A and B are shown apart, each in its own frame.
Chain A
C-alpha cells in the first residue's frame, strides 16, 4: 500500500476532538450514574424487604399456636376488600416499577449516547484474547491504552464465538459476536489501570481472557500513540513489499 494512504488515515478516522471536549465538562459519566442509581436501588429494595420481613416476623410471633386444637380465625374478605387487596398493592408495585423504569431509562440513555469526539477503537475478540486496532493502525493485544479525559468508543466484533468485553470499573459490558457489530463506550477520567474480563462463556480459557485498560496522561498517550502508529506503518510497509 502507498505510504501516503497510511499517513492520511488518522485524519479520516479521528474527528477533531478539541471543540467537542472542552475540558471534559458536560459529558455524562455512566459509571458514576450507575453507582448513584445502584445506591437508590438498594434503598428501594431494602425498604420493601424490611417492611415485608417485619410484617411476616410479627405475624409469626403474634399468631403462633397456643393450644393444640386451635385454628385460625381469619376475617372473611368482602368483595370490596378482596378487590382492594389486589388492586391497591398492584398499583403500589406498578408505581415503584415505573419510577425505577424511568430512572433506569435515564441512565440507559447516557449509556447509549456516545459523546462527540470519542476515541474510536476497533476491537476483535477471539479465543482468548482482545485485539485493539487504533485509527492510525496501531494494534495492541489485551491492553487498551487510552488518554484520560476523553471518552472511548469500542467498535466490536468477534472472530469466533460470543465474548463479552467487561470493564468492571467503568460499569459496562457488551457482547462481541461474529458477523455483527456492537458498540460500547466509557469515560476514563483519571490515569490508572482497570481490569478487562470476558463475561460470556467462551470455553477453556474463558477465565484467563483478561486484559487491561491503561488510562494515560493525554501527553504520554499522544507520544505513545504516535510511536505505535509509526511502528504500524513500518510493519504495513514491510508487508506491502513482500
Chain B
C-alpha cells in the first residue's frame, strides 16, 4: 500500500496538489488525499469480474473478457492518451515479462491492458502500442491492448476492481492508481501489485497465487514449493519470505537430529559400562 501511494505521488505532478495537512495550499488549488485512490483490497479480493464484458483490441478484434479466462490474467488499467505513468506502467510490465523465465506469456498466462478513458478507441490503443515501440511477436500473442466495446461498461469494470480515478483539470490528465490486477483462471481477483518497479519474482509469485488451485491439483511441485515459501505483505506490496515455514523446517531437522544423536552418539560405550558406571 505504501509503495502504491509513493508511485501515485510520483505519477502526478507533485506541486499541483498539497497533501492534507501540508501548509501553503491556496483555496484555488486542488487538494488530494491520496487515500481516496487507495484500492480497498480486502473489499475487492475474490471478486469475480464479469466474463461477459465485451472489448475491442488494438487490431480491431472483438472479444469477451471471459475469452481470456482459463489461465491467469494480468489486468492493467491505463488510458491511451497518457504520457506519464501509463506508458511507464506498460513498459515496465514488458521488461518484467521479458525477465520472467518460469512462465511464458500466452501459454501460461495472458495480459490485458484496458482503457478507462471513454474517449479511447482501438486506433488510439494502436498508437499507444506504437509509442511504446511496438509489440514483439513473442509478447503480442498473449498481450492485448483493448478498449471496452461499450464505454458505459467502464464503471462496471473499475468498480469491480476497486479502481478509483478522476480527471485533473489543471494538469489535463487522469489521476489514477498504478496497479496490476492478477485474476485467477476463473476471473476472480487474487492479487494487486503496485507501481512501476515490481520485480520478476513478485510477478512470478503473483502468477503462482493466481493459478494456485490449478498448480495445486496438477502436481507442479516446484511451483507449489515456491508458492508456500513466500507470503504477500499488504504493507509492502510485495512478497516476502515466509519465515515461520523455514523456522519450522529447521526445527524439524533439529528434532530428527536429536533422535539420531540419542541413538548413535553413545554407540561406542558398552551396555554394562553405562549401566553400572
Contact = CB atoms under 8 A, between A and B. Distances in A.
Nearest to A114: B186
Interface in B148-182: 152, 155-157, 159-160
B264 interface: no
A12 B50 contact: yes
A206 to B, nearest CB: 22
Interface stretch (B41-49, B85-93, B99-107): B41-49
A120 B48 contact: yes
A155 B160 CA distance: 14
Contacts of B47: 13, 155
A24 interface: no
A181 interface: yes
Contact of A157 (B45, B152, B159, B160): B45
A181 B160 contact: no
A134 to B, nearest CB: 13
B153 to A, nearest CB: 8
A22 interface: no
Given A13-B160, A179-B234, A157 B155 contact: no
A15 interface: yes
Nearest to A180: B45
Contacts of B157: 12
A222 interface: no
Interface in A147-179: 155, 157, 159, 178-179
Interface string A1-19: 0101100110111010000
Given A122-B43, A157-B45, A181-B45, A5 B50 contact: no
Interface in B47-72: 47-48, 50, 52
A4 to B, nearest CB: 7
B155 A4 contact: yes
Nearest to B189: A181
Interface in B217-258: 232, 234
A155 B186 CA distance: 14
Nearest to B164: A1
A91 to B, nearest CB: 28
A157 B156 contact: no
Best-buried of B43, B155, B232 by chain A (most CB within 10 Å): B155
A156 to B, nearest CB: 8
Contacts of A8: 152, 155-156, 159
A122 B45 CA distance: 10
Interface residues of A, number: 19
A124 B44 CA distance: 12
A11 B46 contact: no
Nearest to B52: A15
B155 A5 contact: yes
A157 B234 contact: no
B43 A15 contact: no
Given A2-B155, A5-B155, A179-B234, A12 B160 contact: yes
Contacts of A155: 46-47
Contacts of A157: 42, 45-46
Contacts of B52: 15
A9 B49 CA distance: 11
Nearest to A153: B48
A187 B108 CA distance: 35
A15 B66 CA distance: 13
A178 B46 CA distance: 13
Contact of B156 (A9, A120, A178, A183): A9
A127 to B, nearest CB: 16
Interface string A107-150: 00000000000001010100000000000000000000000000
A42 B232 CA distance: 43
B156 A11 contact: yes
Interface in B105-151: none
Contacts of B43: 122
Nearest to A2: B155
Contacts of B160: 12-13
B65 to A, nearest CB: 11
Given A11-B156, A157-B45, 16 more contacts: A8-B155, A8-B156, A9-B156, A12-B156, A12-B157, A12-B160, A13-B50, A13-B160, A124-B42, A157-B42, A178-B42, A179-B232, A179-B234, A181-B45, A181-B46, A183-B46
10 contacts: A4-B155, A5-B159, A9-B156, A12-B157, A13-B47, A13-B50, A155-B47, A178-B42, A179-B234, A183-B46
Query: Which 10 pairs between the two chains have the least Cβ-Cβ distance?
Result: A181-B46, A5-B155, A12-B156, A155-B46, A12-B50, A181-B45, A157-B42, A8-B156, A12-B160, A8-B155
